[in-house]
Amino acid sequence: MGIVSKGSTCDVEDCEEVAVRSLNTKKVEDAGLRVNSSGKKTALCKKCYKEWKKATKEDRSLERARYDRG
Ligand SMILES: [Zn+2]
């Protein structure tokens, strides 16, 4: 996972933050994030990357722990 070059913006829908990470588009979509990217790679800003991490984490474990948070 490379770090994207300065000046790129986040590929998540409705987000225009500066991108800090670049991930496989499929991985991002699998986590439930909507992306505008049509390529293999999706650029994510700090915030969206955090969201993505959170989402993938929930997938793997914690399926019970977060149930009651709505
Ligand atoms: Zn973003």
Task: Give ion ligand 1 contacts, CB < 5 A.
Answer: 10, 12, 15, 17, 45, 48
Distance from Cα 21 to the centre of ligand 1, integer Å: 10
DSSP sequence for 24-38: EHHHHHHTT--B---
Instruction: Give the number of other Cβ atoms within 10 Å of residue 38's Cβ.
Output: 8
- From residue 70, give the alpha-carbon distance in Å to each of 50, 63, 66: 19, 12, 8
Q: What is the pLDDT of residue 37?
A: 78
Contacts of 49 (CB under 8 A, 6+ apart): 20, 21, 23
What's the pTM?
A: 0.73
Residue 4 DSSP class: P
Q: What is the pLDDT of residue 58?
A: 67
Q: Please, what are the averages of pLDDT over each run of 10 residues along the chain (70 residues)? A: 72 94 94 90 96 82 54
Q: What is the pLDDT of residue 67?
A: 55
Q: What is the pLDDT of residue 38?
A: 78
Q: What is the pLDDT of residue 57?
A: 82
